[in-house]
Amino acid sequence: MFKHIQDINTLAAVARRIRRHIITMTGAAGSGHPGGSLSAVEILVTLFFSVLRHAPERPDWPDRDRFILSKGHAAPVLYAVMAECGYVPVEQLTTLRELGSPFQGHPDRRFLPALEASTGSLGQGLSLALGMGAAARLEGAAWRTYVVLGDGECQEGQIWEAAMFGAFHKIDNVCAIVDYNKIQLDGFVKDVMELEPFAAKWSGFGWHVIELDGHDIAALSKAFAEAAAVKGRPTVIIAHTVKGKGVSFMENNPKYHGVAPTPAEVELALKELS
Amino acid sequence: MAAVVNSELKLGMATREAFGRALVELGRRNPNVVAVDADLSKSTYTHLFAKEFPERFFSCGIAEANMIGVAAGLASAGKIPFAASFASFAVNKGFEQMRVLVAYPGVNVKIVGTHCGISIGEDGPSQMAIEDIGLACSLPGFIVLSPADEVAMRAAVWSAAEHRGPVYIRAGRPKAPVIYGPEQQFPLGQAIEVFPGKDLTIIATGLLVAEAIRARAELEADGVSVRLLDMHTIKPLDAAAIAGAAAETGAIVVAEEHLADGGLGVRVAQLVARTHPCCMEFVGINDTYAESATPEQLLEKYGLTARNIVEAAQRVLARKRKRAG
């Protein structure tokens, strides 16, 4: 089983390494989605390094906790975290988006069987997570399912079909985390299709809602513990984040939703992240 | 595979009801079988499963996209989910989920679409699935089954559960004539040779197998030797049976309760073109939507009866003779 890290400073150092990987990978690929990968770094680092019970040497361990990246375009952050956990060699990360690479443009189980799901079409991961949670409950199994959603993704109707399903069936072993970075491909979420009042929507649908700073590892740890203790309904963590977090010229800049850094930008970004 | 046929064609259960009953039997045998439905369990007959196994049944409300997603999640965690609804909703509204969450990762989900074709009658076109075969067959890795009667449906449900991977099963609303004896086997991917014959082959599926049996009787009375194949598995197609029919009878009529464009007919034609090109005719819905009426009136108006199969057979035989002469 993967040995958890509890020390916040050590986790912060891991997060910095993950950010460097994201820049290097997308820079090498010349395409990809750096902004929404950088915003989700602390969420994934906290989960994989201090919350999920998982075994990188045995990805099919039946009692493992499940993780689904529903916002599949943020694949670079997932690949980097999985590499740092030991699922795949770190050196291979720069094959992102190349023919035959385990690191396909969006997560693809056929090329990386340790993934729980192939994602990329937005709106689908929450349904999948709730199906997994229902199966675990039928088995009387203790494993939990975590699913990371994008904010723009919550404009999909299927998210709210799933939200109703999760509360109605009281699937309390599922925890959704929304990477609320306020930016989507076409621009700011509030200008494309406003989600607010967002927390009220989720609580109106019957979910336990926690709002926090999605870059605060201590707050995230505390929230995951709270979610695990809530019975009778699923939990959603609305994680307020900054798109492009950690790289000054990418922060809050819609351009870097789906545009990779140039070689000069890679150099600049890595300097900031050193 | 040869057949033991009841030629009286007495009305039996609707294939949707046979599905619901088979699912209960299967559920008793296999505790991993679960069901999801979208507020149509009384019509799809999954209410029988829900009654016996309430903890293994998940009501999804009228939300088909989520229903297919939940089924994919259940399957990813080792369950064998059957997701049922009218095919026009399960397949059309759940298609993207069938594509990305089921077909693409090859997840073990079984989807049962009921109320297929126009024989649902009075409810009209919004409820009629006439494109589901085309849609389901377009998904790599999917097995597509179209049983003709209650015996074939029962076998389809059990085969679907035994097969590891995505399966789509097509079911109908009206009571269907019982064609097969209870001992009939339906191996996946093997057509049933309902009758042997040498002048012409009728390849039918679903409700039109019974119509084809009636059409064959008429043609045989006129001295035509008719081979009849029940294509209960539409994907993968029984290539050997089709190539054999093309080579040995030189004339084929395909009959289905589906749009002629994109259904079984075009799939058979593709195979015939690759192997032994021969004269073909197609009985199906001709690029239109139906309307409200009784099932019998609709099958008559939209050309899906034994009479239409006989006429198609006469056309194809005339072409075959012209070609030979």
- Give the model confidence (pLDDT) of A22-62 as tens digits: 999 999 999 999 999 999 999 999 999 999 999 999 999 99
Indicate if B162 belongs to the active site. no
Scan residues 3-62 of A and list those with Cβ closer than 8 Å to B: none
Extents of the domains making up chain B: 11-177, 192-324
ipTM above 0.90, yes or no: yes
Rounded Cα gap, residues B51 and A183, in angstroms: 47
Q: Is A124 on the interface with B (CB under 8 A)?
A: yes
**Would you call A127 and B100 a contact, using CB atoms and an 8 Å cutoff?**
no
Least CB–CB distance from A124: residue in B60, B78, B101: B101
The DSSP code for B263 is S
Rounded Cα gap, residues A262 and B9, in angstroms: 72
pLDDT, average across residues B153-164: 98
pLDDT tier, A73 (very low <50, low <70, confident <90, very high otherwise)? very high
Rounded Cα gap, residues B292 and B125, in angstroms: 8
pLDDT tier, B325 (very low <50, low <70, confident <90, very high otherwise)? confident
The DSSP code for B101 is I
Q: Is A230 on the interface with B (CB under 8 A)?
A: no
pLDDT tier, B3 (very low <50, low <70, confident <90, very high otherwise)? confident
Q: What is the DSSP string of B12-35?
A: EEEHHHHHHHHHHHHHHH-TTEEE
pLDDT at residue B1 tops 90: no
Extents of the domains making up chain A: 8-272
Q: Do B76 and B107 meet the contact criterion of CB atoms below 8 Å apart? A: yes
Least CB–CB distance from A127: residue in B59, B61, B66: B66
| CATH fourth-level superfamily of A8-272 | Thiamin diphosphate (ThDP)-binding fold, Pyr/PP domains (3.40.50.970)
Q: Is A120 on the interface with B (CB under 8 A)?
A: yes
**Would you call A161 and B68 a contact, using CB atoms and an 8 Å cutoff?**
no
Least CB–CB distance from B105: residue in A118, A157, A165: A118
Rounded Cα gap, residues B147 and B168, in angstroms: 11
> Distance from B101 to chain A by nearest Cα, in Å?
7
Q: Do domains B11-177 and B192-324 have the same CATH topology?
A: yes
- Count of residues for chain A? 274
- Say what the pTM is: 0.96
**Would you call B105 and A117 a contact, using CB atoms and an 8 Å cutoff?**
yes
**Would you call A117 and B101 a contact, using CB atoms and an 8 Å cutoff?**
yes
Query: What are the tens digits of pLDDT across the range B261-290?
Result: 999 999 999 999 999 999 999 999 999 999
Q: What is the 3-state secondary structure (H, E, C) of chain A?
A: CCCCCCCHHHHHHHHHHHHHHHHHHHHHHCCCCHHHHHCCHHHHHHHHHHCCCCCCCCCCCCCCCEEEECCHHHHHHHHHHHHHHCCCCHHHHHHCCCCCCCCCCCCCCCCCCCCCCCCCCCCCHHHHHHHHHHHHHHHCCCCCEEEEEECHHHHCHHHHHHHHHHHHCCCCCEEEEEEECCEECCEEHHHHCCCCCHHHHHHHCCCEEEEEECCCHHHHHHHHHHHHHCCCCCEEEEEECCCCCCCCCCCCCHHHHCCCCCHHHHHHHHHHCC
Strand B226-230 and strand B200-204: the pairing is: parallel
Q: Percent of chain B scored above 90 by pLDDT?
A: 97
Q: Is A140 on the interface with B (CB under 8 A)?
A: no
What is the fold, at CATH topology level, of the domain defined by B192-324? Rossmann fold (3.40.50)
pLDDT tier, B324 (very low <50, low <70, confident <90, very high otherwise)? confident
pLDDT tier, A171 (very low <50, low <70, confident <90, very high otherwise)? very high
Least CB–CB distance from B66: residue in A118, A139, A158: A158
Q: Which CATH number fits domain B11-177: 3.40.50.970, 3.10.50.40, 2.40.50.140, 3.40.50.2300?
A: 3.40.50.970
**Would you call A131 and B96 a contact, using CB atoms and an 8 Å cutoff?**
no
